[in-house]
Amino acid sequence: MPGHFEPIPGGGAAVALDEVEISIIRSLAVQLLELIGPGPAENAPDDPLAELFAEGPSEPPSDPVLQRLFPDAYSGPDVEAHSPEQAEEQRAHSSEFRRFTENDLRAGKRENALTVIRCLDGLTSGEGGAVLKLSADESEQWLRALNDLRLAIGSRLDVVDEEDTDLLYRLPDEDPRKPMVMAYLWLGGLQETLVETLMP
């Protein structure tokens, strides 16, 4: 079980983590929460309906990591516009789609990251670490959070395709990106074994 998820009865998953691994995942999840930011109505607790009817932003975020986490729905590198009018129409559709969906997407990503933090905070670790046991629902949230963490780190490392990932393996140890690369690859291994664990 060390370093990879294994299935447990009831549809959940378990993985052995040492104290350093626990600390790294928790720190990354906290940073992801800070990057995503608070919800639109978190400053208005007296109005429980405020978040339900709050409209989201209509423009894409300026941070490249947030652009990767919240991409445009109708434009981007994979969507080709054949005319300026078509490009403008795509931007308008993307803007409208973002306005009505981004708040929910952010709330979901926040909840996934919070689940990771709560699960890690609930561990009783001994000298060698602890065994993290996740329910089926928690496993799904962990899977989505691990994906978000890898997207965020990959964005900072300028990873766009598989070829970029191959180059990361060949970075010299003295490269300042090396610790981030190691975290990216390690999280990828965790994510892969969790996917395998959850497959029927």
pLDDT (tens digit, 9 = 90+) per residue, 137-176? 999 999 999 999 999 999 999 887 777 777 888 888 898 9
Q: Residue 75 has which token pair?
A: 């434009």
Q: What is the pLDDT of residue 80?
A: 57
Q: Give the three-class secondary structure for 134.
A: strand
Q: From CA 178, how far away is CA 43, in angstroms rounded? A: 39
Q: Are 156 and 65 in contact (CB under 8 A)?
A: yes
With tokens 């981007």, the residue in question is: 76
Q: Return the residue matching tokens 């074994």.
A: 193
Q: Which residues of the chain have pLDDT under 50?
A: 1, 41-44
Report the pLDDT value the prediction gives residue 2, as an integer from 0 to 100. Answer: 53
pLDDT of residue 81: 53
The Cα–Cα gap between 115 and 140 comes to 10
Name the pairing type of β-strands 12-17 and 6-8: antiparallel
